[in-house]
Each structure stands twice: as structure tokens, then as C-alpha cells.
Structure 1
Amino acid sequence: MITAVHALLYAEDPAAARDFFRDVLGWTHIDAGGGWLIFRSGPSELAIHPADTPTGQHHEISFMCDDLDATVAELRSRGASFEGDVGKQPWGRTIRLVVPGAGSVLMYEPAHPPAHSLPEPEGAS
């Protein structure tokens, strides 16, 4: 049985991105060896979207939060920066969080109930 989702974030400067996740976002982690940090990212969800290209080889990661305004304010106080202002989509409020050495990641407060809070189906392990 699948027990978790392991997301990959590619960075031109992996050390800067790892420092950001550890020091600014405050995510707990393990060192898999040689400074290769793997971060605990909390609950996850997976959505399937239609592909814009025939190959469909496009994948994306987003960070969810319960209160976007409070999260943005807290992260700014720790030195984080953002692209643009908070926007509104049919599925939630959004902003792009700048990750040093890795571009930006969508951060959003969902307008829908989060799927990660659903109970496990009976018999799942």
C-alpha cells in the first residue's frame, strides 16, 4: 500500500533552497547523508488536472495553509518574499512564495474542504 507522497523540488541552488525550508519555513527534516535534507511536509493531497501539452509531462507542487494572510505575514517576518499580491481563484486565495535558488511555489488557502483531512477508508493501512 502507498503510505506517502514524496515531492521533488528542483533548484539551481539546492543549498539555498534547503536552508530556506529549514531556517525560514522551519520544516523538520532528516539528513539522508552528506547534507541531503528530506523535509517533513505534513498532510498531502493529489489532484489530476488536464494536460496543456500532448505529453502531459508537467507536474506542480503547492503549499496549502488555513489562513493565507497570517501565513504571508509570518513568513515575511522571517525574511520570505512573494511574487505579486494575493489573488482569488474559484478554488481559493493564492500567492507565489519565492524559494531561493528554486523559483517560486504556489501557496494557497483553499475555498474547498481539504482532502487530507478525510478519514482513511476502512481496511486501508
Structure 2
Amino acid sequence: MITAMHTLVYAEDPEAARAFFRDVLRLPGVDTGGGWLIFRTGPSEMGVHPSSWEGVGGGAQGTDQAFDVSFMCDDLAATMAELRERGAELDGDVVDQGWGLTVGVRVPGAGTITIYEPTYDPPALG
């Protein structure tokens, strides 16, 4: 039986990314040895999306990605304010996707990860 999902983030600067997850996002975790941190990310859920779709206003869109990682929160505005106070850099404006409100947060050495406040009842929290 599957009991959890393990997610990997690949970073050009893993020490900076680990510090961000530990100090800015304040994810609890353990050091498995030599500074290799494994973080608890709480409940999880998984969706399966098509690799191509019609964009808002028409026009074909798509992705070559096979996997994606997002962080979920219950109040995006409050989460953004809290993360800014801790030095996080947010990427862009809040976007209403219909299924949730989204914004990107920059992870040092690893790119941008989406944070979202769902507008649906998340099964991860049920």
C-alpha cells in the first residue's frame, strides 16, 4: 500500500535551496547525514493533467513536463505576506486559475515553485 509521496527538487545550489525550505518555509525535517535534509511536507494529493490543452482566449498550449510540484496553502494573501517577511521572493502576480489562486515563489538555486490556495475541497485535507 502506498503510504506517502516523496518529492525531489533538483537545485544548482542545494545548500541554498535546503536553507530556503528550512528557514523561510520552515518545513520540519531530518538530516539523513552529511547535510542531506528530508522535509515533511504534510498531506499530499496528486492530479493527472493532459500534456496539451486550449488556453484561455483560445490557442493551443502544452508542456513537455511529466511531473510538477506545487505547495498548497489555506490563505494565499497571508502566506505571501509571511513569506515576504522571511525574505522569500515571489514571482509575478496572483493569478486566478479557476481551480485556485496561484503565485510563484523563487527557490534559491532551484527555480520557481507554485503556491496555491485551492478553490476546491482538497482531498489531501479531508
TM-score (norm 2): 0.88
Matched, 1:105 2:113: yes
Q: Which amino acid aligns with 1:115?
A: P
Runs of 4+ aligned residues of structure 1 deviating over 6 Å after TM superposition are none
Q: Tell me, which stretches of 5 or more residues in structure 1 are unaligned? A: 119-125
Name which of 67, 73, 76 aligns with 2:84.
Answer: 76
- Counterpart AA for 2:17: A
How many pairs align?
A: 115
Matching of residues 1-125 of structure 1 within 5 Å? 1-52=1-52, 58-118=66-126
Task: Please report how far the alpha carbon of residue 33 of structure 1 lies from its aligned counterpart in structure 2 after TM superposition.
Answer: 0.9
Structure 2 residue ranges without an equivalent (≥5): 53-63
Which deviations, in whole Å up to 9, do the C-alpha atoms of 1:83-103 show, x marking residues without a partner?
111111110100001100000
TM-score by length of 1: 0.88
Q: Percent of counterpart pairs with the same letter?
A: 59
Query: Aligned partners of 1:74 and 1:104: how far apart in 2?
Result: 18
Normalized per residue, which structure has more strand?
A: 2
